[in-house]
Homo-oligomer: A and B are copies of this chain.
Amino acid sequence: MRALIDLQKKLVPDLLQVMQKRYAILHSVKNLQPIGRRGLAENTKLTERFVRGEIDFLNEQGLIDITTKGMLITNEGILILEQLTQFMNEIMGLNVLEKQLRETLQIKDVIVVPGNSDEHDWVKQELGKACVAYLKRVVTDDSSIAVTGGTTMAAVASVMTPLERAANYLFVPARGGIGEKVENQANTIAAEMARKSNGEYRLLYVPDPISETSYQSIINEPSINEVLQLIKGASVVLHGIGDALTMASRRKTPESILTDLQKKKAVSEAFGYYFDQDGTVVHKVRTVGIQLEDLETIEYVITVAGGKSKGQAIASYFKQGKSDLLITDEAAAMEILRDYSL
């Protein structure tokens, strides 16, 4: 729906304005009914002639009845008005949220989709769709796209379609894998995205996390080094944000470190870095793949995360992390703004 609105803004810029105008008139008729044309004109500060044109139209469409008593809204008019109210609230409200988040987080762009990923799976799908639409805009020939794992990234993969304006693009995982939930692994997700979008992919067969000793030896492996160069040279990085403790236990973090994360009040995790509420890195695991400092040289860093329960994790990441675009949902957006106002 957001995509359709943006499309219409390009193609028929005044469409939304006309729609809003007719909504306002319909709304006034409902509130003031029965009301005559002149009363309505005076009330809405519009000219009589203009109001007349609009009410003639609305009458033809069956949304109002014109009587000698004055104009009345029809049942269908009420229904349309309700739907329109919902829709207007949605668009307007989301635009306000986006603006607030852009300013609060100091990032270039924010896309907010309606709903709460914690409650409805379709919201995650909408996050995914918004992300795919953005990729279609920024991915060019020979681009590399590094993607992390996670359920939100899996949702992006599930709605992926061909990026028609680019050729020869390549998906790579942003980090290695662990032994759990193969469908949420960066490797699996990269492969799925590539398959669905008719792109190429390379995989990274490295355990994550990895010990310092193994790290030093494994990054010298030619096959690993080759993929790693592609990963570090990606023009687009697509990542989610996890809840710190959830991610830590998912990644089989030792008990002592789990306790440490709790003590240090770790809130979020991304790329193997754990952030507290103020965005301070309180722990880092050794990973093969994208490091936090690599993001500075990435052309487009896209963060996709939603759900009310993720709000604070997202807020904590953004106090430190680099991102060009946040794609989130309404519930998380509210929570982020709440966090920043504390």
Q: Which A residues have a C-beta under 8 Å from some C-beta of B?
A: 1, 3-5, 7-8, 10-15, 18-19, 22-23, 61, 63, 75, 78-80, 82-84, 87, 120-122, 125-126, 133, 136-137, 158-159, 164-165
Contact = CB atoms under 8 A, between A and B. Distances in A.
How many of these chains are in the complex? 2
B125 A4 contact: no
Contact of A14 (B5, B15, B133): B15
A82 to B, nearest CB: 6
Contact of A125 (B22, B23, B120, B136): B120
Contacts of A61: 10-11, 13
Contact of A10 (B7, B18, B80, B125): B80
Nearest to A62: B10
Contacts of A165: 75, 78-79
A13 B80 CA distance: 14
Nearest to A133: B83
A11 B16 CA distance: 10
A8 B19 contact: yes
Contact of A121 (B18, B87, B121): B121
A79 B137 CA distance: 8
19 contacts: A1-B4, A4-B4, A7-B87, A8-B19, A10-B63, A11-B19, A11-B22, A12-B15, A14-B15, A15-B18, A15-B19, A78-B165, A79-B137, A79-B165, A82-B136, A120-B122, A120-B125, A120-B158, A121-B121
A113 to B, nearest CB: 12
Contacts of A14: 15
Contacts of A87: 3-4, 7
What does DSSP make chain A's interface, helix, strand, loop or mixed? Answer: helix
Contacts of A3: 83, 87
B19 A12 contact: yes
Contacts of A121: 120-122, 125
A82 B19 contact: no
B84 A11 contact: yes
Which of A4, A80, A120, A165 has the most B CB atoms < 10 Å from its CB? A4
Contact of A12 (B18, B75, B136): B18
A30 to B, nearest CB: 12
B120 A7 contact: no
Nearest to A58: B11
Nearest to A23: B11
A79 B136 contact: yes
A122 B115 CA distance: 12
A245 B79 CA distance: 41
A83 B7 contact: yes
